[in-house]
A = this chain, B = another copy of it.
């Protein structure tokens, strides 16, 4: 099973876990401030970061604290969660102007993650630090994690800037994909759309390396947009519409993107998009972009996930959940966590075993061929 897991915290990277039980979890590793952790612990009255363990049975921990990072090669057991990562203990970043050093300063630094409003030099150091952290985890637990990288995006800086870090992560660190922020300006959408030739050099490298990108915005600096509840969903809808409104995949027929949160508003407005594709592109979405664009299942209620699987072709759906999710509590109607999307899929009785396997594993292995090769090599 592949769980396309992504956390609400912005200082995240995408990674994979693969157990000997043929479970695979695609996860965003979250690094959070101590105060945020305390909030979370207090809210739930339990170490809810451990919930993924309950869910998939194999993923041990999402928050990598100092002790995990310092664990020896032989110390393979995940230690109980004990505190906040202070990345700067691992790798000094004196070179990063504006980087802040105290543990609490990790919070503002989130906005430098991926492709947020950091300056070019900060973003590069920040991406390297995060990717090295991911690689450290993958090295400690090679049977559980495979890396997906953060790119050193900054507003106004051409995405070609990201190529060396992408290449390093894939070719040297063994990563199998990347995250791509469609709005490095963090809610002001100042850079060109994803379909502009501005992005093409990065796409050429993605195609050459045969790695997909999850299109995921970072923090919102615009107070009109709540981050996880508006900017995220708007970013998903916007990216899909940009793809639909272009001939991008004529130029890049093997380029692949995953859009999170069930693709924002898209399935709910599937008729609008179907009609547009027919009207404007003179062909169905299946021909125009559904060989290249995939949706995850991070939709926080059973009717929404069922709707997604009824409307969108099964081959375009990749199982996903979130941790730390945008909503952390339990639904009083069901007693279950809102973000436990696997339960919603399990309730989709209209899906055959074959279709569920596609959603849980098959599609992700097709979309991330380097992951598939790795799992095949490992006998998964």
**Residues of A at under 8 Å CB distance from B?**
43, 182-183, 187-189, 191-193, 222-226, 229-230, 233-234, 237-238, 241-242, 244-245, 261-262, 264-265, 267-276, 278-279, 299-304, 307-308, 310-311, 326-329, 331-332, 338
Contact = CB atoms under 8 A, between A and B. Distances in A.
Contacts of A188: 188-189
A303 B299 contact: no
Most buried by B among A222, A269, A310, A311: A269
Contact of A271 (B225, B237, B269, B338): B338
B189 A271 contact: no
A229 B274 CA distance: 11
Contacts of A274: 301, 331, 338
Q: State the main secondary structure of chain A at its contact with B.
A: helix
Given A269-B304, A276-B327, A230 B241 contact: yes
Nearest to A236: B265
Most buried by B among A191, A271, A307: A271
Contacts of A279: 43, 327-329
A265 B266 CA distance: 8
A254 B312 CA distance: 39
Given A265-B265, A307-B268, A275 B329 contact: yes
B237 A224 contact: no
Contact of A265 (B224, B237, B326): B237
Contacts of A304: 268-271, 311
